[in-house]
Amino acid sequence: MERKRCCVKLSVQPSRGLMDEKFSVSVQNVLPGLPLTVHAFYKCEGGYSWEAFAHYTANATGTVNVSEDPSLGGTYSGVEPMGLMWSLRPVPGSKKGLRMRKMNVQTPMEVLISVYQGHMTQGFGEQVALAGVVVERWYMAPGVRRIPITEGGLTATLFLPSGPGPFPGLLDLWGGGGKLVEYRSALLASHGIASLALDYLTPQITKETGKMVDNEYFEAAYRVLVQHPQILGSRIAMLGLSFGTSVTLRMAVYSQVIKLRCAVCISGSHVQPIDGTLDQIMIYYNDNADKTRFNEEQHVIWRDLLMPIPTDPSLKVDVGRLQCPLLLVVGEDDQNWPAYESAMDMKAMMQRAGNERLLTVLSYPNAGHLIEPPYTPSARASTFKTVSSTPQTLMVLWGGETVAHALAQEDSWRKTLVFLRENLYGGCDPAAATSSHL
């Protein structure tokens, strides 16, 4: 087999691409009927190692095509062209509760794709691969510019697409974990939308004053986009995930400054005291802490904190007043937030108000809370550090079945990009732009 090992050809095309771009993997020049394992290995910036693998049998021409041939077992089964990415998991013996997140978007994910003889499930590091190829996965396309923003007391990063512009803009809000998370904004800029990633729970100004930011902070971030010479100030969107949805809906409905062309809300809710500050919203959630549940593994389940959805109008954003298209993305197995129930209540509110034409709901059975850009490995549960004066590190259950969640991420991202392009590049009157069920 030594001579055969030298002849085995492993091809990955493209070997360099965006994180949301598919690649094809093929193995050639092996013996027909030979059992093979295709393996992916990634060492993240935190030093933790991740792997995925799948079992194949070479066909009569001595070839395996991962995009067309079924995996017979491993971290995924069946025909899954990108299974080697979305089924990545911590290698055996790793620390519990890991979640893969790219910290430095100016460098690529470097994933080693290898092929081994036999159907292996462990011990890859001790075996010699038949062939290997390093694949680069980027969040920033060539020419995308990363610009730190500190004006107006902001902790933010602006990503501008390649070229002179002007471009439509987007304000990007992550959830209750805080910190400045850049990778989704970088990817949006790679698709032609200037995106401002904003830290609003743990920004520098909060660290200095000990006080949470108010509505003016988000309006200041919006003004950065509106006033930028390479951004179309009349074509701005907001995108929020989890707690970021709470802020996005509040600003879209009640802000006298922020005028959006459209909004995207992922895995969130409209339930909050509408006259409350961010601090008071957090207090409202904490007041319901007795509704916290735990599964058999003692993972925290928070979805009941907002259940049942209140009927008191002072406790939920009046989406009936919304005047721009809204896309809701929800996982029906979300164990962290009642996103599906909230979406159904928002739909009913908008029906009663007569503005339901503005609403699109993408609802995914068996998908969980953390609906991210495609091919991001899902974490059904992971460690989570609360943002408070006395932060706690907990193991939180997000939900989601691996395959269904991966499909939801791929489908929702594609439809989100279509939704944003239609509404940010489309007609001139945002109120007249109606959403379609994509």
**Catalytic pick among 39, 228, 369, 405:** 369
Inter-CA distances, 261 with 136, 211, 322, 358, Å: 34, 31, 11, 11
C-alpha span between 8 and 432 (Å, rounded): 58
φ, ψ for residue 264 (rounded to 5)?
A: -125, 125
Q: Is 55 a catalytic residue?
A: no
CA atoms within 13 A on the CB side of 100: 25
Residue positions counted in the chain: 438
Using the structure block, give the residue that is written with the tokens 């902001």.
154
Q: Which two tokens stand for residue 64?
A: 């395996």
Q: Is 334 a catalytic residue?
A: yes
**Catalytic pick among 242, 342, 412, 435:** 242
φ, ψ for residue 74 (rounded to 5)?
A: 120, -145
Q: Which two tokens stand for residue 424?
A: 């940010």
Residue 117 near residue 58 (C-beta atoms within 8 A): no
Closest by CA to 329, choosing from 362, 364, 369, is 362
C-alpha span between 81 and 75 (Å, rounded): 13
Please count the other Cβ atoms lying within 10 Å of the Cβ belonging to residue 6.
10
Tell the burial category of 49 from Cβ atoms under 10 Å away from its Cβ (0-12, 13-18, 19+): middle
3-state secondary structure at position 409: helix
Inter-CA distances, 45 with 160, 384, 403, Å: 24, 18, 25
Closest by CA to 247, choosing from 286, 274, 283, 207, is 274
**Catalytic pick among 20, 199, 334, 345:** 334
- What CA dihedral angle connects 256, 284, 304 and 390, to 10 degrees? 120
Residue 398 near residue 382 (C-beta atoms within 8 A): yes
Inter-CA distances, 277 with 136, 214, 273, 391, Å: 43, 6, 8, 20
C-alpha span between 314 and 297 (Å, rounded): 36
Catalytic residue numbers, as ranges? 242, 334, 369
